[in-house]
C-alpha cells in the first residue's frame, strides 16, 4: 500500500511509460516517485490527480516520425495519452490560476513534449486547463480535449469558418460547403458536430457505411463513402486521414481563391499538391496547440447541449495494452477509448 506524506499525497504513484521513442511496447511502473514540482519561476502549474486519459492513434510513432516536433526528445518518463481529466490537488498561485481551485474537476490536452497523461499525478499549466462541464462525467471528459481542440482550431482558426457563439456565425457559415474526411473517427466526428453547432449549411462526411450513423447523428447533411469525395465543390476541406483520400479531395476544392484545405492526418497537402491545382487560399497541415480558453468554449457547447463527448469504450488501468491495440488497429466506433487511472 502506498505510504502518505503529511498533506495526504502518496510518495509514489503508478504510471505507464514508453521506454524509448522506438519502442512500441508500453511498460507499467507500479511505484514511481511523484512528479517534481516545477521550478518556482514557472509558477503556473497545478498538480492534478488524474482520473482518466485517452490514447491517440499512432501516438507511439510520433517522436520517431516527427522529430522536428520534439527537438530535445520527450521528457522522461515518457507518458503516453495526450489528453485526460482529473481533480486539482494543489493549484498554482496567481490571478489567472485563481479560476482553478483544489477539488475542481478539470480536463486538458497539455503540451505532449513534457508530459502525456497516463499517470496518477501530473502537473498541468493554467493555460492548458478548463473546468469539466457539469453535465458529463470525468471519464467522458477525458475523451474530449485533443480531438475537440484539433477540430475546433482546424475549422475556426485555420479553416476560416466563424466559431459557434460569435453573433455572425449562422449568417457567415450558412452558405459554406465543408468536406470532412475520416468523419466517423474521433477528430472527424468532432469536426462534424462543431461545424453543425456553428451553423455550417452543408457538411459532407466521408465515412465507412457501417459507421455513417455517427456523423449523420451529429449533423452531417451529406454522407459519402470514406474514400470517395464525390464531385461536389467545397469551400473548406478538413482532412483527418491523409493520402490517398487527401489526394482525391484536391479535385473537389472550389477554385475561387478563397477555399482552404486544412489537414491533421498523415500527409501535408502542401507536399502533395497535384500539378495544375490552383486557386486555393491555403493548403496546410497543422499541429493542435494546447489551449484552455478554446477548451472552455468547447465545454460551454457541451454544457449547452450543442455537442457531446464521444466515448467508444472504457478500459481499466492495467488493460492499457488492449486499449492501445484497439486504437491503433482502427477498431473504434463512435469516439475515443478511455483508460481509467
Sites of contact with ligand NAP (CB under 6 A): 56-58, 146-147, 150, 182, 184-188, 207-208, 211, 226-227, 240-241, 245, 264-266, 287-288, 330, 332
**CA pair distance 57, 326, nearest whole angstrom:** 9
Which CB, 228 or 232, lies closer to ligand NAP? 228
**CA pair distance 277, 88, nearest whole angstrom:** 50
Helices 145-152 and 292-303 pack at an angle, to 10 degrees, of 100
Which CB, 97 or 148, lies closer to ligand NAP? 148
Take residue 210 and report the three cell numbers written for it: 457501417
Min dist CB 74 to ligand NAP, Å, is 16
The dihedral of CA 109, 113, 115, 116: what is its sign? positive
Min dist CB 183 to ligand NAP, Å, is 7
Take residue 259 and report the three cell numbers written for it: 477555399
Which CB, 47 or 206, lies closer to ligand NAP? 206
Min dist CB 40 to ligand NAP, Å, is 32
Other beta carbons less than 10 A from residue 323's beta carbon: 26
Min dist CB 266 to ligand NAP, Å, is 6
In eight-state DSSP terms, residue 4 is B
Min dist CB 159 to ligand NAP, Å, is 14
Which CB, 16 or 56, lies closer to ligand NAP? 56
Min dist CB 288 to ligand NAP, Å, is 4
Which CB, 2 or 270, lies closer to ligand NAP? 270
Torsion angle (degrees, nearest 10) of CA 220, 259, 190, 296:
-130
Take residue 2 and report the three cell numbers written for it: 502506498
Which CB, 130 or 337, lies closer to ligand NAP? 337
**CA pair distance 148, 273, nearest whole angstrom:** 27
Buried b (16+ CB within 10 A) or exposed e, 99-113: ebeeebbbbbbbebe
Amino acid at each position: 500500500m502506498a505510504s502518505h506524506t503529511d498533506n495526504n499525497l502518496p510518495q509514489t504513484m503508478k504510471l505507464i511509460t514508453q521506454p524509448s521513442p522506438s519502442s512500441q511496447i508500453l511498460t507499467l511502473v507500479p511505484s514511481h516517485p511523484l512528479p517534481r514540482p516545477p521550478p518556482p519561476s514557472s509558477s503556473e502549474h497545478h498538480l492534478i490527480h488524474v482520473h482518466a486519459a485517452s490514447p491517440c492513434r499512432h501516438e507511439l510513432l510520433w517522436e520517431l516520425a516527427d522529430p522536428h516536433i520534439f527537438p530535445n526528445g520527450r521528457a522522461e518518463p515518457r507518458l503516453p495519452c495526450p489528453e485526460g481529466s482529473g481533480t486539482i490537488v494543489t493549484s498554482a498561485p496567481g490571478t489567472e490560476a485563481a479560476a482553478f481551485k483544489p477539488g475542481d474537476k478539470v480536463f486538458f490536452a497539455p503540451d505532449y513534449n513534457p508530459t502525456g497523461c497516463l499517470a496518477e499525478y501530473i502537473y498541468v499549466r493554467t493555460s492548458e486547463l478548463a473546468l469539466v462541464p457539469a453535465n458529463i462525467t470525468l471519464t467522458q471528459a477525458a475523451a474530449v480535449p485533443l480531438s475537440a481542440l484539433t477540430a475546433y482550431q482546424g475549422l475556426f482558426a485555420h479553416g476560416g469558418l466563424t466559431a459557434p457563439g460569435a453573433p455572425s456565425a449562422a449568417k457567415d457559415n450558412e452558405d459554406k460547403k465543408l468536406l470532412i474526411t475520416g468523419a466517423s473517427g474521433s477528430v472527424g466526428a468532432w469536426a462534424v458536430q462543431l461545424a453543425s453547432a456553428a451553423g455550417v449549411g452543408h457538411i459532407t462526411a466521408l465515412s465507412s457505411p457501417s459507421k455513417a450513423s455517427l456523423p449523420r447523428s451529429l449533423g452531417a447533411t451529406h454522407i459519402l463513402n470514406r474514400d470517395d469525395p464525390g464531385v461536389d465543390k467545397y469551400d473548406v476541406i478538413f482532412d483527418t486521414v491523409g493520402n490517398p483520400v487527401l489526394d482525391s479531395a484536391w479535385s473537389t476544392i472550389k477554385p475561387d481563391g478563397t477555399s482552404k484545405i486544412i489537414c491533421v492526418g498523415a500527409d501535408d497537402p502542401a507536399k502533395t499538391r497535384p500539378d495544375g491545382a490552383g486557386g486555393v487560399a491555403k493548403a496546410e497541415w497543422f499541429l493542435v496547440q494546447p489551449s484552455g480558453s478554446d477548451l472552455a468554449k468547447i465545454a460551454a457547447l457541451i454544457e449547452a447541449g450543442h455537442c457531446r463527448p464521444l466515448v467508444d469504450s472504457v478500459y481499466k488501468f492495467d488493460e492499457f495494452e488492449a486499449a492501445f491495440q484497439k486504437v491503433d488497429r482502427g477498431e473504434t466506433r463512435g469516439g475515443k477509448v478511455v483508460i481509467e487511472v
